[in-house]
A and B are shown apart, each in its own frame.
Chain A
């Protein structure tokens, strides 16, 4: 009897999980489906779910009109570059705060987090003028630096949480065995923190890939990533929903595939330290 109840509960929870997952994924699924419709079918009432004339015309049109590859490469460089740069700064910072905390460590962490509470548009004009003076407008380097700075508080916080989970006794033992600071980081800390660093890296890549405020405002053509590629297909006057959906599908496909293959690391990363 007890076993039957357990199975029923298991089924209920499985169905519930699938239902929630489908609900969350539905907008993306709808975008993908719309990208294969004609503009007429895209706005049909009642909406057409699967039974419509499937077409690749929108993808052909988008390919003909825009240089997808150039936008894609900019997205890759900006997302990977800002992540690498961010980790370079964040790992030592998080290490110091986790293992050598000072009196102000908590305050510093809270201050860093508080910078995320300020609306980005509040600093748009000063940053725009700075970029103009430094010749960084429409440059990958400029966007890369800004995105790194924007995501830095999150990276440091995540890494700090991971590092705090590593028992200090292990590091003490390595020191007693004569390990130098470099050896301690290289042979003891890093192997234990790799899962945490990997999931932080993945999350940061996703955040940088999807970032739309700074990439839209600081780039025009040479450094424009996939966010500007999508924005070029939105129109308040004229029906371009199917083409917009095709552009969106092309823009999210790489990150969706990456997310699918790295979901275990991502879930582990996001839930690490959540349950004690």
Chain B
């Protein structure tokens, strides 16, 4: 009996000691997207919680578009459901100007914000204040099959022109063997085909708007962009290309069915992974092409970033987490656990100065050159009133970009001629921009 009473008293004492600790624990709700780097971060958070025993992490992982809608609703209504949100560099400046995000000042001294790649940091800052910390970033580049190029007797230079790419794509195509010279995004969406086509248009000297916000689809640069895109897709692209996005093209390239794939630099780690790709040892890289005589390589820049909503009541703990997840220390932790190749790319200069990373990631040099070459403040060779590379950084762009993307996808499917699609794009963009008050 005594034993039982002692045991009960002991249990009560332990509980009494543990309860205050539990009561003081802060729970952070983190909204994130489902991709390899983010999932890896979730697995490695033991390092953070060991260093911060008073902080508990709760993950909400959602598909990108659902997450965007969900987080926008919550932040706009100050719902306070999330303490840390994963957002793209499209949202960061727009949300920061709405005061929906907390400025990331007062980060720990060893965070070393000056180590962030300048192009990436610029895209996440408003008036030199950082509003989100980059977790990983990407530009776009050419990935091609060295063996197919050699067999076809063509070469692709490190900084190719579109002419070079088209010639190589045609030469590599062997439709009877299901090998397609070029795989490009065709699926409609502002973040799908329009990401690629906006960057391609930039490299052709086109722009979305002139200084009076008048759409520019009636200009010859857009005509050349779309005509060349549709022509090469018909001659050297895979069947059903109008429904192909990043994932579909990745699958085709990994199975050896694409000669050239031009897409996000983050794909480089997938196509060179021997565990996933059948052509891992045959991949060559080059910069995003430009049209002969136009000094512009598309200015594609996307980053996934961690931001803190203004509605959170746990700002200090959230800042601790953001600093940990985007620090140099985190990169080293990933390298120690899974090798340098798995380190989140595109955010820190120090990663690209690291010879071990360069040895493990053959695409590192080109990725850095692609990101360093981006200027989102001036994405076209023409003067523009907007910022953003493969998108226009205005709230209306999601709707307009997707509507225009549907017109352009129809050209790849052969339902509409490029001229008709451009006329429709011009009309619908003018209508929406007038409605939104940009065009007086």
- Partner of B70 from the list A132, A217, A233, A236 (CB cut-off 8 Å) is A217
Look across to chain A and name the residue whose beta carbon is closest to the beta carbon of B64.
Answer: A236
Instruction: Knowing A216-B66, A232-B62, say if A40 contacts B247 (CB, 8 Å).
Output: no
Look across to chain B and name the residue whose beta carbon is closest to the beta carbon of A46.
Answer: B178
Establish whether residues A220 and B77, one from each chain, have CB atoms under 8 Å apart when the complex forms.
Answer: no
Establish whether residues A125 and B77, one from each chain, have CB atoms under 8 Å apart when the complex forms.
Answer: yes
- Cα(A238)–Cα(B251), bound, Å: 9
Instruction: Return chain A residues, CB-CB under 8 Å to B74.
Output: 128
- Partner of B29 from the list A40, A128, A220 (CB cut-off 8 Å) is A220
- Cα(A39)–Cα(B273), bound, Å: 13
Interface positions, chain B 75-101, Cβ under 8 Å from A, are: 77-82
Interface positions, chain A 193-239, Cβ under 8 Å from B, are: 216-217, 220-221, 224, 228, 231-239
Establish whether residues B61 and A232, one from each chain, have CB atoms under 8 Å apart when the complex forms.
Answer: yes
Tell whether A80 is near chain B: CB-to-CB under 8 Å: no
Establish whether residues B73 and A125, one from each chain, have CB atoms under 8 Å apart when the complex forms.
Answer: yes
- Cα(A132)–Cα(B48), bound, Å: 30
Look across to chain B and name the residue whose beta carbon is closest to the beta carbon of A230.
Answer: B63
Instruction: Return chain A residues, CB-CB under 8 Å to B78.
Output: 132
Tell whether B255 is near chain A: CB-to-CB under 8 Å: yes
- Partner of A220 from the list B81, B246, B255, B276 (CB cut-off 8 Å) is B81
Instruction: Return chain B residues, CB-CB under 8 Å to A275.
Output: none
Interface positions, chain B 107-131, Cβ under 8 Å from A, are: none
- Partner of A45 from the list B29, B61, B65, B252 (CB cut-off 8 Å) is B252
Look across to chain A and name the residue whose beta carbon is closest to the beta carbon of B74.
Answer: A128
Tell whether B352 is near chain A: CB-to-CB under 8 Å: no
Look across to chain B and name the residue whose beta carbon is closest to the beta carbon of A232.
Answer: B61
> What total of chain B residues lie within 8 Å of the partner, measured CB to CB?
44
- Cα(A29)–Cα(B419), bound, Å: 43
Establish whether residues B66 and A236, one from each chain, have CB atoms under 8 Å apart when the complex forms.
Answer: no
Q: What is the minimal beta-carbon distance from B300 to any residue of chain A, in angstroms?
A: 14
- Partner of A235 from the list B34, B70, B82, B248 (CB cut-off 8 Å) is B34
Establish whether residues B39 and A128, one from each chain, have CB atoms under 8 Å apart when the complex forms.
Answer: no
Q: What is the minimal beta-carbon distance from B427 to any residue of chain A, in angstroms?
A: 26
Digitize A122-134: 1 where CB-to-B-CB distance is under 8 Å, 0 elsewhere.
0011001100100
Establish whether residues A45 and B81, one from each chain, have CB atoms under 8 Å apart when the complex forms.
Answer: no
Tell whether A65 is near chain B: CB-to-CB under 8 Å: yes
Establish whether residues A237 and B35, one from each chain, have CB atoms under 8 Å apart when the complex forms.
Answer: yes
Establish whether residues A132 and B251, one from each chain, have CB atoms under 8 Å apart when the complex forms.
Answer: no
Establish whether residues B79 and A137, one from each chain, have CB atoms under 8 Å apart when the complex forms.
Answer: yes
Q: What is the minimal beta-carbon distance from A275 to any residue of chain B, in angstroms?
A: 41
Instruction: Knowing A45-B255, A228-B62, say if A238 contacts B70 (CB, 8 Å).
Output: no
Instruction: Knowing A228-B62, A239-B250, say if A40 contacts B70 (CB, 8 Å).
Output: no
Digitize B264-283: 1 where CB-to-A-CB distance is under 8 Å, 0 elsewhere.
10100010000010000000
- Cα(A237)–Cα(B195), bound, Å: 13
Establish whether residues A236 and B255, one from each chain, have CB atoms under 8 Å apart when the complex forms.
Answer: no
Instruction: Return chain A residues, CB-CB under 8 Å to B264.
Output: 237
- Cα(A125)–Cα(B81), bound, Å: 15
Instruction: Knowing A40-B254, A231-B62, say if A236 contacts B77 (CB, 8 Å).
Output: no
- Cα(A112)–Cα(B84), bound, Å: 40
Tell whether B416 is near chain A: CB-to-CB under 8 Å: no
Look across to chain A and name the residue whose beta carbon is closest to the beta carbon of B73.
Answer: A128
Look across to chain A and name the residue whose beta carbon is closest to the beta carbon of B257.
Answer: A45
Instruction: Return chain B residues, CB-CB under 8 Å to A234.
Output: 34, 63, 66
Tell whether A44 is near chain B: CB-to-CB under 8 Å: yes
Among A125, A128, A132, A220, max chain B CB count under 10 A is at A220
Interface positions, chain B 26-45, Cβ under 8 Å from A, are: 29, 31, 33-36, 39, 42
- Partner of A40 from the list B35, B257, B276 (CB cut-off 8 Å) is B276
Instruction: Return chain B residues, CB-CB under 8 Å to A236.
Output: 63-65, 191-192, 245-247
- Cα(A45)–Cα(B61), bound, Å: 29
Establish whether residues A220 and B266, one from each chain, have CB atoms under 8 Å apart when the complex forms.
Answer: no
- Cα(A233)–Cα(B31), bound, Å: 14
Instruction: Knowing A45-B252, A129-B77, A220-B29, say if A238 contacts B36 (CB, 8 Å).
Output: yes
Tell whether B58 is near chain A: CB-to-CB under 8 Å: yes
Establish whether residues A220 and B191, one from each chain, have CB atoms under 8 Å apart when the complex forms.
Answer: no
Establish whether residues B39 and A220, one from each chain, have CB atoms under 8 Å apart when the complex forms.
Answer: no
Establish whether residues A65 and B257, one from each chain, have CB atoms under 8 Å apart when the complex forms.
Answer: no
Tell whether A240 is near chain B: CB-to-CB under 8 Å: yes
- Cα(A216)–Cα(B62), bound, Å: 9
Q: Can you identify 7 A-B contacts, CB atoms within 8 angstroms?
A: A132-B77, A132-B80, A217-B69, A217-B70, A220-B81, A228-B62, A237-B35
List the interface of chain B (C-beta within 8 A of A).
Answer: 29, 31, 33-36, 39, 42, 58-66, 69-70, 73-74, 77-82, 178, 191-192, 245-248, 250-252, 254-255, 257, 264, 266, 270, 276
List the interface of chain A (C-beta within 8 A of B).
Answer: 39-40, 43-45, 65, 124-125, 128-129, 132, 137-138, 216-217, 220-221, 224, 228, 231-241
12 extra interface residue pairs, beta carbon distance < 8 Å, beyond A43-B247, A220-B31: A40-B254, A44-B255, A124-B73, A137-B81, A216-B70, A231-B66, A235-B33, A235-B63, A236-B247, A237-B247, A240-B34, A241-B247
